[in-house]
Chains A and B, each alone.
Chain A
Amino acid sequence: MRPNAPALPNRPPLVPGTGSLAKGVTDDFEDENWQWFYNHPKSSEEQDERMRSPLGRSGNRVWFEGPKRGTPDTVKRIPLPAPGLEGSEHGLLIATLHAGVPGYASGKMMQDDLIFDMKRLLRGGMNVADSPSVVVRVYMPPFDQWENRSGPSFGFRTGCYTHTIITGENHPSRGEYGLEEYWPGMFICFENGDEKRHAEDGAYIRVRSGRSGGELMGPRIEQLGWWTLGIAFSPDGVVHYFASPGVDDLTAEDHITSQYPYGYRTEIFKTFFFNVCSQDDGKTWSTPWVIDDPKVYFVPKAKIAQQPESSRR
């Protein structure tokens, strides 16, 4: 990690959902023909360096399986478990059982990835100069439905780029100056009340990451049901994390923190994705997570087509 960010600027945070909705960069899961093609066996490049093509993908080509960790074992359009956004009747269930290498139960926490194909929809990512942001609704089920394991259960994350010394372990240009990819986001973590260290079941949001790469404790999940999560990128390269119970639009009051994750000044918001984690023992399912209506926004500059007076001669 070679930090390239200055001190955090003293500006109000950028609220996710600010500006215009990016047309077509969404999925409302209302199409009754919505389908997921698993294309098993799943990839597990992170564990055994095997990417098993073809990758899983949705019929609408908006989502694909994460090549590093593989497809969740359940990716299914379902009726909403509780009333959510107005006009929305369906969401996407994501859960997993065999989160690690196919055919091998590691007994360790593993995760699978569902990735939004922003690269295909936009022919690349979004420049932070356009103040992009992403907002999603996530359903937190009753605690008796959560996997009985303390630790991360669900991740809402983004793919970002900055220019610095490349640290990716298998990157061909590791150690050289270039485009470094990293994945800021938020994890929902469970506290298992069956364990002595926790008086009762509980959950909280953990933010990845602070300036040094360490994770930050976010708010506790005091209320289950629908939550609205959002991540925004301001032109100064700062990442802004927001969360709020319910499905209302995010406001400044829902701000958790603003950070330069890993000390990096973000340049490009490449895409967003979801992790689902399980203990990978071959018999215990993850918590069933339902997401709905992920949407991407940006702030267009009003006078973009107008040449500034000073450069006219």
Chain B
Amino acid sequence: MDLVPAEGENIMSYRSYSCVRNTFVAAVIISQAALLAQTAEAIGPFSVEARRRRARW
């Protein structure tokens, strides 16, 4: 069966697109998580006690 649409139409594989999209979303999540970990290291441990101290400030 010929599933190729008429010439001139804007055609794209949704499977390839969603694969790229999901990879991109995963990459963003991983990079944000890494960034968060770095920030946490710089600030110090987020213990309950530390949060209470911060709240008192």
Q: Report A's interface with B, CB cutoff 8 A.
A: 19-28, 30-31, 33-34, 60, 62, 87, 122-123, 126-127, 130, 295-296, 298, 300-301, 304-305, 307-308, 311, 313
User: Within the assembled complex, what's the spacing in Å between the Cα atoms of A244 and B2?
Assistant: 27
Question: Are B5 and A295 within 8 A (Cβ)?
Answer: yes
For B6, the chain A residues whose CB sits under 8 A away are 87
Question: Are A307 and B3 within 8 A (Cβ)?
Answer: no
Interface size of B by Cβ–Cβ distance < 8 Å?
23
Could you jot down 30 A-B contacts, CB within 8 Å? A19-B10, A20-B12, A22-B12, A23-B3, A23-B14, A24-B3, A24-B13, A25-B14, A27-B1, A27-B3, A28-B1, A28-B3, A30-B2, A31-B1, A33-B1, A127-B18, A130-B14, A130-B17, A130-B18, A296-B14, A300-B12, A300-B17, A304-B20, A307-B24, A307-B27, A307-B28, A308-B28, A311-B35, A313-B35, A313-B38
Query: Chain B: which residue is nearest A298 at the CB level?
Result: B14
Q: Which of A21, A305, A307, A308 contacts B5 (CB 8 A)?
A: A21
Most buried by A among B11, B14, B27: B14
The 3 closest A-B pairs by CB, nearest first: A20-B12, A31-B1, A22-B14
For A19, the chain B residues whose CB sits under 8 A away are 10
Nearest-Cβ distance from residue B29 to partner chain A, whole angstroms = 10
- Binary CB contact string for chain B from 40 to 54 against chain A (1 if under 8 A, 0 otherwise): 000000000000000
User: Within the assembled complex, what's the spacing in Å between the Cα atoms of A122 and B16?
Assistant: 9
Query: Chain A: which residue is nearest B3 at the CB level?
Result: A24
Q: Which of B2, B10, B31 contacts A21 (CB 8 A)?
A: B10
For A304, the chain B residues whose CB sits under 8 A away are 17, 20-21, 24
Q: Report B's interface with A, CB cutoff 8 A.
A: 1-3, 5-6, 9-15, 17-18, 20-21, 24, 27-28, 31-32, 35, 38
Query: Chain B: which residue is nearest A20 at the CB level?
Result: B12
Question: Are B20 and A305 within 8 A (Cβ)?
Answer: yes
Query: Chain A: which residue is nearest B5 at the CB level?
Result: A21
Question: Are B15 and A20 within 8 A (Cβ)?
Answer: no
For B27, the chain A residues whose CB sits under 8 A away are 307
Query: Chain A: which residue is nearest B7 at the CB level?
Result: A87
For A21, the chain B residues whose CB sits under 8 A away are 5, 9-12
**If A298-B17, A311-B32 touch, does A305 touch B24 (CB 8 Å cutoff)?**
yes
